[in-house]
Structure 1
Amino acid sequence: MSDTPLSRMLSESETRRPDALTAFRLARKRFLSSDRVEMREIAADLGVSRTTLFRWVGSRDDLLVEICWSIAKPTLQHATAAADDLVGGDRIASIAEAFARSSIDAPFYREFLRREPERALRLNTTAASPFQERVIDHFASVIQEEVDERRLTSTLEVADLAYLVVRLLQSYAYADVIAGESPEPDKVRRSVSGFLRD
């Protein structure tokens, strides 16, 4: 057997010291298991102080944002790839619906919304964290592609369109928390598609 970087890393993993990435992975695993992400417990499991943990990952909110984004980013990428056969507003609407549906259907995410509704909304739907900006940026890049290819026209700026698409998406995906109604991903597609019609 040859000595490869992988074999060395695997043999060192048992003795490797915890770091920010180790903390993130542990917290993400807990989140995906629908468990509450508690800094005190993560620090204890890693054998480090809470001060060290906070230095590595920032606040609990910072950590939760990165966990949510680590789930959202590939979801958005997959939804975008799946909508490649569509154009214009239909493409954007398909991506928005798929993203909303993933949020609605994910038991770990629904548990986060149920357990900590104010925090979940603040971190995912406001400027209080970079999460919403990242989602808007993703939609802006897709909208820009459609505009550049002349498959979508609007009197609004691309950034404004992306913001409005994300706000429509959020209003239906988080309807249970915002208005006490059932989340409806189908309405996301219809609303966004209607909004982006020429």
Structure 2
Amino acid sequence: MSTPATPLSLALSQRKSDERATPLTAFRMARRWWLEGRRLNLSLLAEELGVGRATLMRWVGNKDLLMGEILWSLYKGIYDQAIEKAKVDHPQKGIDFLGQIYNDVNIALINAKPMHDFLAAEPQWGLQLLTSNLSGLQKRLIDEWQALFEEEIKAGRINPEMDADSLAYYIIRIGEGAIYCDLICGRTPDPVRAAQAFRLLANGHTR
């Protein structure tokens, strides 16, 4: 007696060539490879997806931009979790709210194993992607923090001595120094000092 066919069994039995890859499929596969510690090779990725390399390049732009999307997906998840936690811990918001987000994000990135593995395997390229706008990551980080600062400044909860855009830029640079200083200058990552600098810039004092 034969087993009756179901929509799932029919879908699973389809040939790989019948499956349609999409830009989102490419991103998900590339992200999975990165999380597994594999190097990002666009030719191999295109082959695995069953599309031409030119098609993949049209979808993702280039290797730097694809890696930027992967890194942003990691950052954004960390930011969103930190913001939600800070809303619970500091419902009145203000400097303690912002400071907790900043510190939690920095600590999470220092402890992120995929990031450590990536930087250990490809330190020069990794730092270029993380500390420049080569991948578009920097602009997204600045936009994220600028929006947080603008809301707190408008509400009168913080009173920094510089505009929100400049403040976002400098606190990100300080965060990079705290997170990646082992690669940049051989120092031990120190989120505590970064948190103190954050308070000085964002509100003019450390407490």
Q: TM-score, normalised by structure 2?
A: 0.84
Aligned residue identity for 1:119: W
Map 1:157-176 → 2, pairs under 5 A = 157-176=163-182
Does the C-alpha gap of structure 1 residues 172 and 8 become closer, same or farther in structure 2, counting only changes over 3 Å?
A: farther
CA distance in structure 2 between the aligned counterparts of 1:194 and 1:155, rounded to whole angstroms: 10
Offset, 1:8: 7.7
**Structure 1 unaligned regions, length at least 5:** 1-6
Structure with larger RCO (C-alpha < 8 A, sep 6+): 1
Aligned match of 1:133: 139
Q: Percent identity?
A: 32
CA distance in structure 2 between the aligned counterparts of 1:105 and 1:95, rounded to whole angstroms: 15
C-alpha contact 1:43 1:53 (8 A) present in aligned 2: yes
Q: Does 1:112 align with 2:118?
A: yes
**Structure 2 unaligned regions, length at least 5:** 1-5
Of residues 16, 29, 33 in structure 1, which corresponds to 2:19?
16
Aligned match of 1:77: 80
* RMSD of equivalent CA atoms: 2.2
Offset, 1:151: 0.8
Aligned match of 1:177: 183
Offset, 1:23: 0.8
Q: How many aligned residue pairs are there? A: 192
Aligned match of 1:51: 54
Aligned match of 2:65: 62
CA distance in structure 1 between the aligned counterparts of 2:97 and 2:122, rounded to whole angstroms: 32
C-alpha contact 1:65 1:129 (8 A) present in aligned 2: yes
Offset, 1:58: 1.4
**Deviations 1:68-109 (Å, cap 9, x if unpaired)?**
111111211111121123333332222122211222111111
CA distance in structure 1 between the aligned counterparts of 2:114 and 2:76, rounded to whole angstroms: 16
Aligned match of 2:3: none
C-alpha contact 1:127 1:133 (8 A) present in aligned 2: yes
CA distance in structure 1 between the aligned counterparts of 2:97 and 2:107, rounded to whole angstroms: 15
Q: Describe the SS at the equivalent of 1:83.
A: helix
Of residues 183, 187, 195 in structure 2, which corresponds to 1:189?
195
CA distance in structure 2 between the aligned counterparts of 1:155 and 1:166, rounded to whole angstroms: 17
Of structures 1 and 2, the larger Rg is shown by 2
**Deviations 1:130-172 (Å, cap 9, x if unpaired)?**
1111111111111111111111002211111111111111110
CA distance in structure 1 between the aligned counterparts of 2:174 and 2:98, rounded to whole angstroms: 12
Of residues 38, 41, 60 in structure 1, which corresponds to 2:41?
38
Q: Which runs of 4+ in 1 moved over 4 A?
A: 7-15
C-alpha contact 2:102 2:195 (8 A) present in aligned 1: yes
